[in-house]
Amino acid sequence: MIVYPAIDIRGGRCVRLSQGRDDARTDYYKDPVEPAIQFAQAGAEWIHVVDLDGAFGGAPLNLPTLQRIAALGPKVQFGGGMRDRAIAEAAYAAGASRIVIGTRAATDPAFLREMAKAHGPRLAVGIDAKDGLVAVKGWTAVTALQATDFAKEAGELGVSTVIYTDIATDGMLTCPNWKSLEAVLRACPCGVIASGGVAGTEDVARLAQMSRAYPNLVGAIVGKALYEGRCDVAGLLQACR
């Protein structure tokens, strides 16, 4: 199971939101490249980068920062405002090894199929759930689509990786929503990366153990726990082993 240390960018800074709320934001670094350097030096294979400006505004604004992070060595999984092919191609050109689409994927199955066919494992679908329903547009709108149904559909459309985030736990350091994650793992025919609520090494160790029962649990995204000093990348990597 792969650990993805997370960097969320808002207004050019490295920040964390609580439950996806822009009014519950904590700034950690003026330059998002600073934590990326630390993660790379600690041995991270991947870094998960979210352009929150793009998620809220509809188009990414931080591709130059993506380019600087990608130059450090680890692969970069990049999302936020990936709502058409031209934007996706720009993200790849800036150094993204995998892009994450969310809003457009949930609302346009034809687009999702097209992107999955074109990019294969270089594409992931972000499924962000509030009370089991898919949220879009930077989590500001909730659809009637069940997260489990969307996970199943994404796999059937050719998607190889899904990133599942439970919004209620995201940024709260309360541990993942184990029940909802297990439901998605049962429904999803492709790889799942767990996101939201990881409070430290013990949660990652539990996810690694869970991956024995669910081999499609292939990764875990860790954000706030790292910035609050509750764990470090080296310890998380060890927990996965």
Active site residues: 8, 128
C-alpha 158/C-alpha 120 separation (Å) is: 8
* SS3 (DSSP) at 15: strand
Q: What's the maximum distance between 2 C-alpha atoms anywhere in the chain?
A: 43
Using left for φ > 0, alpha for ψ between -120 and 50, and beta otherwise, residue 206 falls in alpha
- Give whole-number Cα distances, 80 to 6, 156, 203, 231, in Å: 13, 23, 26, 26
Residue 229's Cβ-count burial label (10 Å; 0-12, 13-18, 19+) is: exposed
* SS3 (DSSP) at 207: helix
> Which residues of 13-122 form beta strands (DSSP E)?
13-18, 21-29, 46-51, 75-79, 98-101
Whether 52 contacts 80, CB under 8 Å: yes
DSSP 106-126: HH-HHHHHHHHHHHGGGEEEE
Closest by Cα among 70, 71, 72 to 98: 70
